[in-house]
Structure 1
């Protein structure tokens, strides 16, 4: 995860396609909130799903995000890469 965000995407700015091992892929925005360090240590990630992105853009309300377990991710791709 850290390498992906160091090289390809910026937390709080870039939309990411998240492919899961056992469910449908989603597009979302990873958030760096007050509990970011705590969640990251446990491999949990706060993500605003695509269905909530417009509301998040206007309100910046972190409660629109959901917490996902990073162990369930199989692949991450930037929004642009997902169309290539």
Structure 2
């Protein structure tokens, strides 16, 4: 997917977890805006906290609980909220 497509989705669903279908697997999680958000976005990379770490992330805001995914690998994004 393109940067614009992903950014449009994030803008419409900022607080909800998402189901992201990649070319090789599916990930459920929350897009987060970390300090490096703009730098990563320029390269079509996105930080996502998986649903099993979401509660811990909401308490600690620890960016290390997230993983970085390449937007080119995204096939489909759907909101869980």
| TM-score range relative to shorter protein | 0.7 to 0.9
Following TM superposition, the consecutive aligned residue runs of length 4 or more in structure 1 with deviations greater than 3 angstroms are: none
C-alpha contact 2:10 2:31 (8 A) present in aligned 1: no
- Other-structure match for 1:3: 8
Q: 2:41 matched to 1:37?
A: no
TM-score (norm 2): 0.85
TM-score (norm 1): 0.82
For residues 1-55 of structure 1, give each alpha carbon's deviation from its aligned partner in whole angstroms, at most 9, with x where no partner exists: 122123x311xx22111011112x1210111011100000000001101121121
Superposition CA RMSD, Å: 1.1
